[in-house]
Amino acid sequence: MDKATRGWIHGFLGMLIFSGSLPATRVAVMDFDPVFLTVARAVIAGVIGLALLLMFREKRPAPGDLTSLVIVSFGVVIGFPLLTALALEHITSARSVVFIGLLPLATAIFGVIRGGERPGAAFWLFSCIGSALVAGYALSQGIAAVSAGDLLMMAAVIVCGLGYAEGAKLSRTLGGWQVISWALVLSLPVTVTLTFWMQPASFTGVGQNAWIGLAYVSLFSMLIGFVFWYRGLALGGIATVGQLQLLQPFFSLVLAATLLHEQVSPMMIVVTLAVVACVAGAKKFAK
């Protein structure tokens, strides 16, 4: 099996793992406070990441890498999990995946900003059309929805795109899984403190499904998914393997419908397909 094929396989597994993040978060926030869920998952993943770094005796990041690691921590360790957890108190995971369709585009835009690339007009055309589709869908659901869950999901996509782009750039020198592990470790002083501060007075009211959701987002969404994802990007190339993210909304919709019995309306499917088509066009002309 050649290097590129192994990259696509690893990338696909990472994308598949990430597809379960929103449905698992939706289940967890039914019994857990969103802030507690965010910091608790980061603590669990951070402790495991620290153990892996010590076990493999990984070198410490250079001083110049700390700024990038802080950005990664802000984007994918704290920002995206917290904003999505807050959003999923107001909207279903099925509806939220419409916004996840914009994540590859957000990553590409921040890649342009951080990398200094100058894509052509076609890139921005697809970008504007995709954004207009998402905004139009959100507006069609009513002003109250736009001011709560939908806006939170848009913010989550933006900070996650920044974290992905910064992490992808840093992984070229530091290594893929090492980036997320160091970002988690760097966040531990804050996340541990907030976990003890935000923990509920009693866990007796927390159901089994919520614990399963917490376990999934801690082990898979926060750590294991990144191991496969960054390995895939390293082997197969960021630009090519990164397009696998376009499949994530479809797998998330299937999981939301089958596991959570959420309604997936025809309009959700149409908008998701349209957004994915726009992101694919934008990615094609990103170079």
Label each residue of 27-74 as H, E or C: HHCCCCCHHHHHHHHHHHHHHHHHHHHHHCCCCCCCHHHHHHHHHHHH
Does 280 or 23 have the greater pLDDT score? 23
Q: Is 260's pLDDT higher than 90?
A: no
The average pLDDT across 61-82 equals 95
Q: Report in angstroms the alpha-carbon separations of 120 from 13, 39, 172, 237, 254.
A: 32, 40, 26, 21, 35
* pLDDT score at 146: 65
* pLDDT score at 286: 63
Q: Given pLDDT bands bounded at 50, 70 and 90, which one contains residue 56? A: very high
- What is the residue range of 217's domain? 3-284
* pLDDT score at 278: 83
Q: Is 63's pLDDT higher than 90?
A: yes
* pLDDT score at 143: 53
* pLDDT score at 142: 62
Contact (CB, 8 A) for 76 and 183 = yes
The average pLDDT across 153-176 equals 88
- From the number of C-beta atoms within 10 Å of its C-beta (0-12, 13-18, 19+), residue 260 rates as middle
Contact (CB, 8 A) for 219 and 39 = no
**Other CB atoms within 10 Å distance of the CB of residue 135:** 13
Contact (CB, 8 A) for 11 and 236 = yes
Angle between helices 93-100 and 21-28 (to 10 degrees): 140
**Other CB atoms within 10 Å distance of the CB of residue 30:** 14
| Domains contained in the chain, number | 1
* pLDDT score at 91: 85
* pLDDT score at 145: 55
Over residues 221-255, the pLDDT tens digits come to 999 999 888 778 777 776 667 778 888 888 887 88
Does 138 or 201 have the greater pLDDT score? 201
Q: Is 57's pLDDT higher than 60?
A: yes
Count of all residues that appear for the chain in the document: 287
Q: What is the mean pLDDT of the chain?
A: 87
* pLDDT score at 172: 79
